[in-house]
Amino acid sequence: MQDFQLSIIDEPYTTSDGNGYRQTALLRSNEKHHNARKEIRLGYISAIELYRLIKEEKPIKLDSVFIDDFDLHQYRINEKLDIKKGIVLHDFTVTNSFLVSSSDIDFTYAVFEGAEACFDNTVFVAPKINFANAHFRTENVSFSYCHFKVQRTDFSYSFFKGNSLSFKNAVFIDGVKDFRYIDVEKANINFVNTDFGHGDVFFINAQFGTGDVSFKVATFGDGAKDFHYARFFGSDVSFERCRFGNGLIDFSKVEFGSQKVSFNRAEMGKVNLNFEGCEQKTGRFNFKKVLIQGGSSNFSLVEMPDTEAVFSSSDIGMCTTSFHNSAFKSLFLQSCHFDCYIDLRVKKADFLDLSDSIVRDIVDLMPYDWTVDIKSVNFEGMRLVGRMYLSWDKNRVKSMINNQPNLSNRSKCEQFRVLKQNFNVTGQYTDEDKAYVEFRRHEMAALLDEMQQKSTLKSFFYYPVYWFKKIVFDYMGLYATSPSRVLISVVVCWFLFGFGYFFIELLGVGKTMSGVGNPDNISVFAQSFYHSAITFFTIGYGDVFPMGVSRLFSALEGFLGVFMMSYFTVAFVRKILR
């Protein structure tokens, strides 16, 4: 009671509900407000009188009262009861009141029965308030707008059977808030706008039943926020716009059941955020527009194989993040901001979305101990300032991008371009070539799509250009990334022209002639291939020369030979220089 001075006055006090008390508790503020001290008048009831009502098993409905030194432990001693004896409290209602004690305010093993147990707008002042092992069998339990001016709040092992449990707008000062092993059977749980203050908050092994759970706009100060092994069975779990402060945030091994889970717009300081091993059967896990100022976030070993996990537009910033060996139906990280290492070596994901994200450090997709099973991925619009580690073959990059439904060739082209640049930076030159080939292929397809959208006539005239590029640049040399492919194309061209000269001579429209006779007695067929070789490779001995249509054919082969040898040189030197 450091904020107020207490005086007990021998004057009757009547509440607004008509309840009368023999004495009045006068609370006078120690601080002046507008040169006056605030005064609060309440009815005064001693703990002894309250014990008498409990013993007589009468309903206890108190409003605007001051109660000092309430202690069920002391009540059991006075009545010579077992220390763990359940004490039944009928329709226990204490609202707009003060409960004050120099030791503990003790409700351990209390059994609340009746329509409700209500403590709305009540101030608790003590070193500790203890509801451990209390049983709330009432339909409604409410601590809304309460002020807990205590160093430790203990609701551990308490049981709630009714339809609602509310701590809406409650305020806790610094210290421990212990809700371990609470068991809520079916109640909707309301911690909306609750201020937990600084200090540790424990919901370890809490059972949240089938009702909805809401911590919307709740404020957690510095200290541990520990929910590990908690189980949520309701349809909606919300931590939207929560402010978590600094320290540990532990949701490891939590079971979320089958429902919607939301941490949208939550704000976190420098934290150790841990969701390791948590589970959600189906539904949606929302982590959108979350701000984390620093520390680490751990989503490894998460089991959400039929759940969409949405982290869109979150600012992870200087926070290392891991999804190591986790399983999701879909993992959305679009428009996120990552300044630190992020481990995306997930065990399974049907779809991974990194579109429009900003990465300034390392994204790790490289599989090691297990296969990274990602069916499709979206890198469109990704700003990769840092590096991304993945393998073209092990990660099946080509199929991951091409498996995206309803994605345009232009979008796929952009994604392969991002990967091509990344592979160059990481020194994966073979993978860079593969990404470059796919980039150019989808770029050509995108140009054709855009022509078709603009005009059918334009696309008709573009088709010859498209197929020329397709054959020469793609089929014949993989865009100068494969010297062996170019060399094979050279041999194929040589043979095709050789056959061409032979058939031209059979048709009688041209032929190849020897200027020195036929000293080697070679056949027309062999001479056609010899002429093709010296023409294609621009040797030009002059012992065999073309006539008729073969002259035109030879000119075309000479040009193609120069082009193909240059093509081979570029591809070969490109490989060697790397």
pLDDT in tens, 187-196: 999 999 999 9
Torsion on CA atoms 222, 228, 234, 239, rounded to nearest 10: 20
% of the chain surpassing 90 pLDDT? 57
Residue 487 lies in a domain: yes
CA atoms within a 13 Å half-sphere pointing along the CA-CB vector of 135: 11
Strand partners of residue 259 = 283
User: pTM, whole model, 2 decimals?
Assistant: 0.83
Residue 259 lies in a domain: no
Can you tell me the distance from the alpha carbon of 226 to that of 556, in angstroms, rounded to the nearest whole number?
Answer: 78
Alpha carbon distances (Å) from 237 to 101, 163, 262, 284, 523: 36, 16, 6, 11, 87
Can you tell me the distance from the alpha carbon of 151 to that of 128, in angstroms, rounded to the nearest whole number?
Answer: 6
Q: Tokens 């451990």 appear where?
A: 132
pLDDT band per the 50, 70, 90 thresholds, residue 24: confident
> Residue 544 belongs to what domain range?
483-577
Cβ–Cβ under 8 Å, residues 170 and 142 = no
% of the chain surpassing 70 pLDDT? 96
- For the chain, how many structural domains are there in total? 1
Considering only residues 16 and 287, tell me which one the structure prediction assigns the higher pLDDT. 287
pLDDT band per the 50, 70, 90 thresholds, residue 34: very low
pLDDT reading at 458 higher than 70: no
Residue 545 lies in a domain: yes
Closest CA to 272 of 319, 229, 305: 319
* pLDDT score recorded for residue 541: 79
Residue 227 lies in a domain: no
pLDDT tens for 82-138 read: 999 999 999 999 999 999 998 899 999 999 999 899 999 999 999 999 999 999 999
Average pLDDT over all residues of the chain:
90
Residue 250 lies in a domain: no
pLDDT band per the 50, 70, 90 thresholds, residue 257: confident
pLDDT band per the 50, 70, 90 thresholds, residue 318: confident
Average pLDDT over residues 32-47: 74
pLDDT reading at 30 higher than 70: no
pLDDT tens for 219-236 read: 999 999 999 999 998 889
pLDDT reading at 36 higher than 70: no
* pLDDT score recorded for residue 253: 96
Average pLDDT over residues 400-423: 90
Tokens coding 216: 């919307």
Residue 292 lies in a domain: no
pLDDT reading at 2 higher than 90: no
pLDDT reading at 376 higher than 80: yes
Q: Tell me which range, 18-27, 166-175, 450-459, 544-553, is most confidently predicted by mean pLDDT.
A: 166-175
Residue 391 lies in a domain: no
Can you tell me the distance from the alpha carbon of 168 to that of 170, in angstroms, rounded to the nearest whole number?
Answer: 5
Average pLDDT over residues 253-270: 92
Average pLDDT over residues 534-548: 83
Count of Cβ atoms closer than 10 Å to residue 350 Cβ: 16
- Which amino acid is residue 523, in one-letter code? S
Residue 216 lies in a domain: no
CATH number at residue 545: 1.10.287.70
pLDDT reading at 296 higher than 90: yes
* pLDDT score recorded for residue 548: 86
Residue 6 CB contacts under 8 Å (≥ 6 apart), including other chains:
25, 26, 27, 66, 100
pLDDT reading at 37 higher than 60: no
Can you tell me the distance from the alpha carbon of 410 to that of 413, in angstroms, rounded to the nearest whole number?
Answer: 5
Average pLDDT over residues 19-27: 86
Strand partners of residue 421 = none
Among the residue ranges 211-215, 322-326, 412-416, 542-546, the one predicted with the least confidence is 542-546
Average pLDDT over residues 260-266: 95
Can you tell me the distance from the alpha carbon of 365 to that of 477, in angstroms, rounded to the nearest whole number?
Answer: 30
pLDDT reading at 357 higher than 70: yes
pLDDT reading at 411 higher than 80: yes
pLDDT band per the 50, 70, 90 thresholds, residue 335: very high
Tokens coding 119: 């403590």
